[in-house]
Amino acid sequence: MDKIVIQGGARLHGAIPISGAKNAALPLMVACLLTDETLVLKNVPNLADVRFMGELLKSFGVDVEWTPARSLAEGGTYRLQARHVRGSTAEYDIVRKMRASFFVLGALVARVGLAKVSLPGGCAIGARPVDLHLKGLQALGASIDIAQGYVFADAPAGFVGGEVVFPIVSVGATENVLMAATLAKGTTVLVNAAREPEIVDLGNCLIAMGAKITGLGTSRITVEGVERLHGATHSVLPDRIETGTYAMAVAIAGGEVELTNTSPDLISSLLDLLPLVGAEVSSTGSGIKVVRNGSRPKSVSVDTAPFPGFPTDLQAQFMALMATAEGTSRIRETIFENRFMHVPELVRLGADIKVEGDTAIVTGVASLTGAPVMATDLRASSSLVLAGLAAKGTTIVNRVYHLDRGFERLEEKLSAVGAHIERQKE
């Protein structure tokens, strides 16, 4: 099993190209099931989750062709054609590895009238519920049954447009129902829909495929169902979580770095905070420049919230930054329970963090100290890397397969701007 070794204390200088967004690429790949023509996706990151999705689509008879990127500054290309959908079962062995596999539920029922999809591993109808997905598809006429760890869904005559009211904002449920609604008979209205850029990106791709969608980027999306969709070519938007993570890497380590192939509009909630922390942020012709020189970062409190609020997927990274800041900050997690699993590992590096319910109270220390730590999930692993950049001595991050699910060539990108970081085999 690989590990990442970091010698802390190096300042960062140069440019980091931002990859395409994994959280956009996965539902975009599923969209190929909605048509028998070819969907071409460009700027796709080469990540474990993306490869898992390609394997899942192959199991349904999709022709999957992958062309790797020629450099760090561009993504790869997928050509996907579901000319004939064979089978309608997403097995547990695939879905347990990647929660986004559940997106195939709505698309499969829309295309072939039925689907059998495993409940995501460790989830059921629990802390990260899929009941919002199911209720949304039921509102479009699907019959749903749950047995032996699988969701059985069917709508033999196809989906029928209706009003879907989400009781809480859910990105995944919005994406699942949005794809299903494109082929429904009549009009579908999604109320309290998620507004994230990844939703807009998926909607724009579906429009390019012939869907009729209005209201993208708002909490009310209207879909006029069409009889069929056709092929299209679409470029995946930049990864805002990667953008934010590397912006905070500069803020915690110091230096001057331009993040290219990205946009400040994707991550304004963080960029508005960084000047308060003590970093300078400016827009460039090709992305964002982040500079931090001089004194320690300053403490700033934050609550996570659905877009356009502060992303839960940047909470762990921001906590690492606050662990080195002057003063005390309060970080409140409002989206997911149990998303403070990185706290004990940051404490191993010398951080002073106390958790009270949904809030972490972080008292910044003058310096962190390198130590062996263990990644518990994707975002936690990136927070440990950021902490390691600032820590004195050597930090060893174990179980980095979590990182490989969401960050493309992380150690290569950070090495290129001066970080002392390398991947080692056990």
Residue pair 419/252 in contact by the 8 Å Cβ criterion: no
* Residue 23 annotated as binding site: yes
Please check whether the two domains, 2-16+239-425 and 24-235, share a CATH topology: yes
123 is catalytic: yes
The angle, 0 to 180 degrees and rounded to 10, between the axes of the packed helices 315-323 and 240-253 is 0
State mean pLDDT over 195-220: 98
Residue 305 has pLDDT above 90, yes or no: yes
Q: Considering the chain, what percentage of its residues have pLDDT values greater than 70?
A: 98
Q: Where residue 210 falls among pLDDT bands split at 50, 70, 90?
A: very high
pLDDT tens sequence across 150-183: 999 999 999 999 999 999 999 999 999 999 999 9
Catalytic residue among 123, 124, 226, 396: 123
Angle at 105 between CA 99 and CA 109, to 5 degrees: 170
Q: Which helix (H) or strand (E) covers residue 30, if one does? A: helix 22-30
Q: How confident is the model at residue 375 (pLDDT cuts 50, 70, 90)?
A: confident
pLDDT value for 419: 98
Terminal C-alpha separation, the chain: 5
pLDDT of residue 294: 82
- CB burial of 23-46 (b: ≥16 within 10 Å; e: otherwise) equals bbbbbbbbbbbbbbbbbbbbbbbb
| 131 belongs to an annotated ligand binding site | yes
Identify the burial level of 168 via C-beta atoms within 10 angstroms of its C-beta, where 0-12 means exposed, 13-18 middle and 19 or more buried.
Answer: exposed
Backbone angles phi, psi at 272, to 5 degrees: -70, -25
Residue 295 has pLDDT above 90, yes or no: no
What DSSP designation does 232 have? E
Q: Is 421 annotated as contributing to ligand binding? A: no
pLDDT of residue 122: 42
Cα–Cα distances (Å) from 120 to 43, 94, 208, 325, in that order, read: 27, 9, 30, 38
Reference 64, options 73, 75, 52; nearest CA is 52
Residue 121 pLDDT exceeds 60 = no
- How far, in Å, CA of 347 to CA of 368, rounded? 9
94 is in an annotated binding site: no
d(CA 58, CA 132): 27
Give the pair of three-digit tokens for residue 344.
């004990």
- pTM reported for the whole predicted model: 0.95
- Residue 9: CA atoms inside 13 Å, Cβ hemisphere, count? 7
Q: Of 3.30.300.30, 3.40.50.620, 1.10.3720.10, 3.65.10.10, which CATH number belongs to 24-235?
A: 3.65.10.10
Mean pLDDT, the chain, as a whole number? 94
Dmax (CA) for the chain in angstroms is 65
Domain at 2-16+239-425, CATH homologous superfamily: Enolpyruvate transferase domain (3.65.10.10)
Q: Report which of 99, 156, 145 is spatially closest to residue 123, judged by C-alpha positions.
A: 99
Q: Flag whether pLDDT at 332 surpasses 90.
A: yes
416 pLDDT exceeds 70?
A: yes
Task: Tell me if the bond preceding 68 is cis, omega within 30° of 0.
Answer: no
**Residue 22, annotated ligand binder?**
yes
Determine if residue 275 is labeled as part of a ligand binding site.
no
pLDDT in tens, 43-94: 999 998 999 999 999 999 999 999 999 888 889 999 999 999 998 999 888 8
Retrieve residue 407's tokens.
């960050």
Query: Across residues 20-40, what is the average pLDDT?
Result: 98
Residues 6+ apart with CB under 8 A from 393: 7, 8, 369, 370
Amino acid identity, position 292: R
Over residues 301-317, the mean pLDDT reads 96
Task: Kindly write down the DSSP assignment for every residue of 353-389, as one continuous string.
Answer: EEEETTEEEEE--S--B--EEE--SHHHHHHHHHHHH
Instruction: Give the per-residue pLDDT at 243.
Output: 98
Query: Is position 335 annotated in a ligand binding site?
Result: yes
The pair of structure tokens assigned to 279 is 């970093």
Q: What percent of the chain has pLDDT over 90?
A: 85
pLDDT band at 208; cut points 50, 70, 90: very high
344 assigned to a ligand binding site: no
pLDDT at 286 over 80: yes
* 297 annotated ligand-binding residue: no
379 is in an annotated binding site: no
Residue 125: the pLDDT is 30
**Domain residue spans in the chain?**
2-16+239-425, 24-235
